[in-house]
Structure 1
Amino acid sequence: MSEPGFDSGAPAPGVSATVVPATVAVVAAAVAVPAAALALLGTVSMAVGVRRGTRRLHTTGGALAFGGVLLSAGAGAPPALALIGGAAAIIAWDAGEHAIGLGGQVGSEAYARRGILAHVGASTIAASTIVVVAAIVFVLARTGNPSAATVVLVFAVGLFALLLDR
């Protein structure tokens, strides 16, 4: 049970850190109106979930935003746009999860901007690297050199496993 007067909602910068990348996912999903609507619903759900400190609502919103990007990919979005939108939806979800965790530990009134920005920055670097590697694999596979694509993909999986271990 929490102390009287302790608000375990996420600190205010957590909402912004969630909404900004989620908006990128909505824009990426705008290839198809139903996809954009789904991603927008996910963005709103994530923002409300982060503000209230409700992981279930936030995670549902993340799934909806990612689903909107997947729907847009199925509707013909360019692969690069789908990759960027998917990465943005995952970054938004990760930022919100981090903010909710911080809120539970230090409360919503704590100064947490630097910690949230550092976390989101690291997540963005990791996601950007994954998007670049996936784009390289896509290009190599399209040019008729699937063995090179396989090598790059295996290297990426190994690098990802190494980074997860740290």
Structure 2
Amino acid sequence: MTEITRRPSLTGISVSLVAAAVGFVGVGVASAGAVAPAALGVVVLAVGVFVASRRLVTLGTTALFAGVLYAGAQGGAAEPLLVAALGTVVSWDAGEYAIGVGEQLGRDAETARLTLVHSATTLLVGVVGIAVTYAAYLSVGGGQPIAVLVLLLLGVVALVAALRGGRDEGRRVRRGR
């Protein structure tokens, strides 16, 4: 019998890093001055998913999101900010999910389809949230970067809370509560 390697799969790592790259590019397009915290966030996230550290994944995506917020405060365009926020949330969720699946099933298990479906679902929920946020932005008349920043922050907080709530519910079910 072989020992199970309790690490994230390469698919999970890749999805997380691609999403983080999308977030980074969105930040760079919105505001060149916000690239530094976003770049630091991507590096910390990459280390976190490779060493299977939830703390580093969260810290990295927090720094990436700080880049999104800074770009918004600098008056960056709404479209790249929304894409950057979505990339940030998907990268966090994919990294956390990859670590969880790696802990449960191991790196060598066939989890590519599972990981891709989970991340696609997160992306779909995020796209719907982005569409609602962008519609609200357009209805306000545009040119309101602070309003977009507030809506963006509220949308991301709601999405993360929803993702966390589902994950906590799954833990209670597994523990028999």
TM value normalised by structure 1:
0.80
Q: Does 1:60 align with 2:81?
A: no
The Cα shift of 1:75 comes to: 1.4
Give unmatched runs, 5+ long, in structure 2.
143-154, 167-177
C-alpha distance in structure 2 between counterparts of 1:80 and 1:141, whole Å: 15
Q: Does 1:118 align with 2:117?
A: yes
The Cα shift of 1:162 comes to: 10
Letter in 2 for 1:126: V
Moved segments of 4+, more than 2 Å: 4-7, 31-34, 160-165
Q: Does 1:14 align with 2:12?
A: yes
Question: What does the per-residue CA deviation read over 1:130-160, in whole Å, with 9 as the maximum and x for residues that have no partner?
Answer: 00110111111227xxxxxxxxxxxx9xxx8
The Cα shift of 1:33 comes to: 3.7
Partner of 2:34: 35
Tell me how large the CA RMSD over aligned residues is: 2.5
Q: Any residues of structure 2 matched to 1:1-166 within 5 Å, and which?
A: 5-30=3-28, 31-142=30-141
Secondary structure of 1:23's counterpart equals helix
C-alpha distance in structure 2 between counterparts of 1:52 and 1:45, whole Å: 11
Over the matched positions of the two proteins, sequence identity in percent amounts to 31
Aligned residue-pair number: 148
* Range with bigger deviation, 129-138 or 5-14: 5-14
Question: What does the per-residue CA deviation read over 1:66-91, in whole Å, with 9 as the maximum and x for residues that have no partner?
Answer: 11111111112101211111111001
Give unmatched runs, 5+ long, in structure 1.
144-155
